[in-house]
Structure 1
Amino acid sequence: MSGLNTILFSAADNLRSKMDASEYKNYLLGLIFYKYLSDRLLVKVVELSEESLEEYYTADKQTELYKTLLADEDIKSDLIETLVDTLGYDIEPAYLFNVLTNQAKQNTFQLNDLNKAFIDLSTKYDQFNGLFDDVDLTSKKLGSDAQQRNITITEVIKKLNPINLLGHGGDVIGDAYEYLISQFASEAGKKAGEFYTPHEVSVMMARIAAMGQEDKKLFSVYDPTMGSGSLMLNVRNYIHHPESVKYHGQELNTTTFNLAKMNLILHGVDKEDMRLSNGDTLNKDWPTDEPYTFDSVLMNPPYSAKWSADDTFLDDSRFNRFGKLAPKSKADFAFLLHGLYHLKDSGTMAIVLPHGVLFRGAAEGVIRKKLLEDGSIDAVIGMPGNLFFGTTIPTVVIILKKNREKRDVLFIDASHDFIKGKSQNKLSIENIDKAVETYQNRESIEKYSYVASFEEIEANEFNLNIPRYVDTFEDEEAIEMGLVGDSIRKIRKEKEELESNLYEMVSSLQHSEEDEEWIKGALEVFKREK
């Protein structure tokens, strides 16, 4: 896996010096995605022709078979129809990735052919519409003229071609894709970090969201601020029927929306199992038609973002039960309430937010009180600082449920459990296991977790600040005064010996007449000190 990641990332070398990470990811990820589609189609052709992959083991051999089959008019239409039915697309032989690579090796590659390949897929099949828009092959950043741009993309294609994207099995290319996204997020900082939740945090949230629902034969997940889609995808690793998961997601940024679509496709999600929307989650509710409630809701929204908070939202069914709207300058509770509205009565929601939502007053205090009175807040997990790309602030993961019998809240202070990184902190498997197991057992552990009753929370005026419930203060060790006295006496003795040695050294110094006064002054100081 690490070898695959290394090769994928090295393909960016030709772009790294020309543009920043938030831009060159579009080219590299777009090309990887196209190669995956091309390779997948060729393997499917061999399968449909009932030939052996051992005989047709290279893309070039597979291409020759594909061309031969298409040349037979009796076979051509059925083959294309079957490819579209099973894969959802077809690609003309002239536009296959390995064909373009061979042209690159012979220095006959033309950018226009790659552009035609993208256009062909995007116009013929809805699921690819707009996915390649950010792979701008006319950008001057690739080169000052058409020839230079041709050379740049030629080198990237040649580097990508040897990778066997399908030979590594199931999810590996999707996971490598996730790895690359995390690398870009790290390099591009805040801008790229907006679309990526670190893998370890995703795992923790997914494990909790799936808990108690593992046996469901049909499982639905919803992320209204889906970014790259990584949060949604992690859920299937923790349920018993991963092939039956239905993915529902919304994303405001079009580039990031396309990234999520590619990511789901690369992870083998069929188009009928994904329902994705490119839109503003808060300003216009989505989805509004069935299904609009889900088994799990996972969210990592932009922290303390601005939103309209228009009075008309007081009539919105997502917010109208709470009496107040999240303030214009901090949409955190607007995102939370949106997600909770779309959660099934039997479901679990996990959302990452800044700590301010736990204790800020005014409208946020009113909303928080109502959530607690309803018993909707199940757990509050304090996370370490500097976990997320682009922000060093510590965050909190809030777990929500509907129709709980009790109104207690489990507090977990996991803020001290992390692996210190040079630029980013990380969670170890042990850190994640500890938090998840504590949540599952719902237990109070000294200096780590505490189950607070509703009455305790009410007595704290519905303030959920974690230190009010989990005391992590470490008492200082008692000091033995006898040892301190011994230490002081030892230091005084050493001081006297040093001063005596210095006095003797200064007294014995050979000096000129003009330094006589300085020497006398120094010796007087020593005498006074003694």
Structure 2
Amino acid sequence: MVEQHKKALEKQLWNIANTLRGNMSADEFRDYILGFIFYKYLSERMDLYADDLLKEDGIKFDAIDENTDEGKEYLEAIKEETIDHLGYFLKPNELFHVLAQKGENGEFILEDLSEVLNHIEQSTMGTAAEDDFNGLFDDLDLTSNKLGKTENAKNELISKVLTHLDDIDFLHHETDIDVLGDAYEYLIGQFASGAGKKAGEFYTPPMVSTLLAKLVTQGKDKLKSVYDPTCGSGSLLLKVSKEIKRKGGEVGGYFGQESNPSTYNLARMNMILHGVHYRNFDIQQDDTLEQPHHVEKRFEAVVANPPFSADWSASAGFLTDERFQDYGKLAPKGKADFAFVQHMIHQLDENGTMAVVLPHGILFRGAAEGHIRKHLIKDKNCIDAVIGLPANVFYGTPIPTCILLLKKNRTRDDIFFIDASRYYTRGMSQNHIEKEDINRVLDALLKREFIDKFSYVAKKEEVANKNEFNLNIPRYVDTFIEEEMVDLKNVTDLAIKLDEKEKSIDKRLKEFSLELGVRFPFGGSNGK
């Protein structure tokens, strides 16, 4: 029943988004529809929590008269409780269904809506929730001409969106927090699929996220913390959470950093919509390499899908930065891939596990990158596995990628190679990794043994001496697929038989034409 409810909700929300965006692209409409869904969610949580507080008094929250002294006393007491529990506060006249009803009645609601969204943020000022709600609705520009050429046209569109969303009961029963969170994640994915190259900035395909989450949670049923230095919409952090909850455990804290302001807002909304309490997550907005916010912390699980071969300053000053100083060289200015790896290793706890998606080039490129790779293998001994993924599984890029699995304080003296590049399902514009493909990788990693054309255990001596620290997967896993040998004698015999058959047909046609008194005007296959 829960699965059916989730699917129905996903379809309903996407239909609303698709129908009402008009001439606006799906990518442009994303922030509006997701922002309004978040506002509705906050409103319903506020309404339900306040009703529960007022149960003994026999009063409904939305029935309180804010203009009376008694009403003001009630609201003041409720606000104090709500700020502590939920992190924000809404007055009865600011609830979603109140504004939606006004819009449906033809009233002009844009100014009221703008004020309400500002008030949500203002209600958290000076509280523990301030950082998590600050600027959360900045991307909902209700004055934008994208919404309509006139104020009335904008008002009409927004009123329609609110009215359609108002018809959906988000928090009907206890399981709906997961249902709504998954539906929200589904919407983000739908917008990503139409966003082209931009999609990679805010969303990791679900099955890749699942694989990364399973890699860092193998053998664990709880985590003290999980960190993503390029967290996008937060999908990877939430996938790790889902894996732990599936085992009956909990994640102690969620940490992330995102440079894009819009995506940073999306990540915080996504956290709250998935029921992560504002005290349990810390998402910051800044360039992780240039301005790291969690550099003093260490995390039990680290996951990331950084932008491939991104630019960074590679300033000489970073040679004394504790994240990079042990290596003696910095990642190239135009290829920050290893800079992200170094940053993540620094943040990883002593008993932690790290999984990061990277372009294949990091496995074999030389110069500074070769130097860093050698240090990771020889001196730190932290690379545990290299997993080759299929091409065209990421939004906006067709290139093949790999996953590096890293651990601190390893006692192993080997690296496990997996070539999973042939295991996928072809899609219209993007290939997909299926559940059985993920299980194939996890099973191989657990057994850590040779499988022809798929996996190989390489001793460090082999990596160092025979391959000079080159980790390119074909050096270790034989990826060549032999074509089926064809028996040339059988081919010759078949050609003779076909030739004889054609001659027989030609002969019959000539005989038939003579019987009819018609000249046979054409030759056979040999021109005879």
- 1:383 lines up with 2:389 in the alignment: yes
Q: In 2, Cα distance between the equivalents of 1:67 and 1:438?
A: 63
Aligned to 1:514: none
Aligned to 2:271: 264
Q: In 1, Cα distance between the equivalents of 2:214 and 2:301?
A: 11
Structure with higher Rg: it is: 1
Aligned to 2:210: 203
Aligned to 1:497: 504
- 1:476 lines up with 2:475 in the alignment: no
Aligned to 1:106: 105
Aligned to 1:516: none
Q: Which moved more, 1:232-241 or 1:414-423?
A: 232-241
- 1:231 lines up with 2:233 in the alignment: no
Q: In 2, Cα distance between the equivalents of 1:250 and 1:384?
A: 27
Q: Map 1:349-388 to 2 at 5 A.
A: 349-373=354-378, 374-388=380-394
Deviations for 1:5-30, whole angstroms, at most 9, x for unmatched residues?
Answer: 01111121354332222211000000
Tell me the TM-score normalised to structure 1 length. Answer: 0.90
- Is the CA contact 1:20–1:188 (under 8 Å) kept in the aligned structure 2? no
Q: Which moved more, 1:478-487 or 1:185-194?
A: 478-487
Deviations for 1:246-273, whole angstroms, at most 9, x for unmatched residues?
Answer: 0111000001001001101111111211
Q: 1:11 and 1:34, CA in 2 relative to 1: closer, same or farther beyond 3 A? A: same
Given candidates 13, 18, 31, the residue that maps to 2:36 is 31
Q: In 1, Cα distance between the equivalents of 2:86 and 2:222?
A: 28
SS of 2:194 mapped into structure 1: helix
TM-superposed deviation, 1:487: 0.8
- Is the CA contact 2:295–2:347 (under 8 Å) kept in the aligned structure 1? no
Tell me the TM-score normalised to structure 2 length. Answer: 0.91
Q: 1:276 and 1:253, CA in 2 relative to 1: closer, same or farther beyond 3 A? A: same
- Is the CA contact 2:417–2:458 (under 8 Å) kept in the aligned structure 1? yes
- The amino acid that maps onto 1:45 is A
Q: In 2, Cα distance between the equivalents of 1:329 and 1:495?
A: 64
Aligned to 1:140: 145
TM-superposed deviation, 1:472: 3.0
- The amino acid that maps onto 2:447 is N
Q: Which moved more, 1:168-177 or 1:359-368?
A: 168-177
Q: 1:388 and 1:86, CA in 2 relative to 1: closer, same or farther beyond 3 A? A: same
Q: In 2, Cα distance between the equivalents of 1:152 and 1:73?
A: 34
TM-superposed deviation, 1:442: 1.8
Aligned to 2:127: none
SS of 1:4 mapped into structure 2: helix
- The amino acid that maps onto 1:264 is M
TM-superposed deviation, 1:409: 0.8
Aligned to 2:298: 293
TM-superposed deviation, 1:192: 2.5
TM-superposed deviation, 1:62: 5.2
Given candidates 151, 156, 172, the residue that maps to 2:156 is 151
Deviations for 1:53-76, whole angstroms, at most 9, x for unmatched residues?
Answer: xx99xxxx6522686998445533
Aligned to 1:222: 227
- Is the CA contact 2:177–2:273 (under 8 Å) kept in the aligned structure 1? no
Q: In 2, Cα distance between the equivalents of 1:176 and 1:526?
A: 65
TM-superposed deviation, 1:480: 3.6
Aligned to 2:11: 6
SS of 1:136 mapped into structure 2: coil
TM-superposed deviation, 1:244: 4.3
Q: 1:93 and 1:72, CA in 2 relative to 1: closer, same or farther beyond 3 A? A: closer
Q: How many residues are matched?
A: 510
SS of 1:472 mapped into structure 2: coil
- Is the CA contact 1:411–1:466 (under 8 Å) kept in the aligned structure 2? yes
TM-superposed deviation, 1:181: 0.4
Deviations for 1:262-289, whole angstroms, at most 9, x for unmatched residues?
Answer: 1011111112111121101111233134
Aligned to 2:419: 413
Q: In 2, Cα distance between the equivalents of 1:527 and 1:384?
A: 45
Instruction: Indicate the percent of aligned positions where both proteins have the same amino acid.
Output: 45
Unmatched 5+ residue regions in structure 2?
Answer: 1-5, 125-129
- Is the CA contact 1:222–1:249 (under 8 Å) kept in the aligned structure 2? yes
Aligned to 2:287: 280
Q: 1:154 and 1:362, CA in 2 relative to 1: closer, same or farther beyond 3 A? A: same
TM-superposed deviation, 1:314: 1.3
SS of 1:333 mapped into structure 2: helix
Q: In 2, Cα distance between the equivalents of 1:269 and 1:243?
A: 11
Q: Which moved more, 1:243-252 or 1:207-216?
A: 207-216
Q: In 2, Cα distance between the equivalents of 1:383 and 1:528?
A: 50
Unmatched 5+ residue regions in structure 1?
Answer: 512-518
TM-superposed deviation, 1:500: 4.2
Q: Map 1:508-523 to 2 at 5 A.
A: none
Deviations for 1:60-103, whole angstroms, at most 9, x for unmatched residues?
Answer: x6522686998445533222111111111110111110001111
- The amino acid that maps onto 2:425 is I
Q: In 2, Cα distance between the equivalents of 1:509 and 1:143?
A: 80
SS of 1:420 mapped into structure 2: coil
RMSD over aligned CA atoms reads: 2.5
Aligned to 2:400: 394
Q: In 1, Cα distance between the equivalents of 2:207 and 2:34?
A: 22
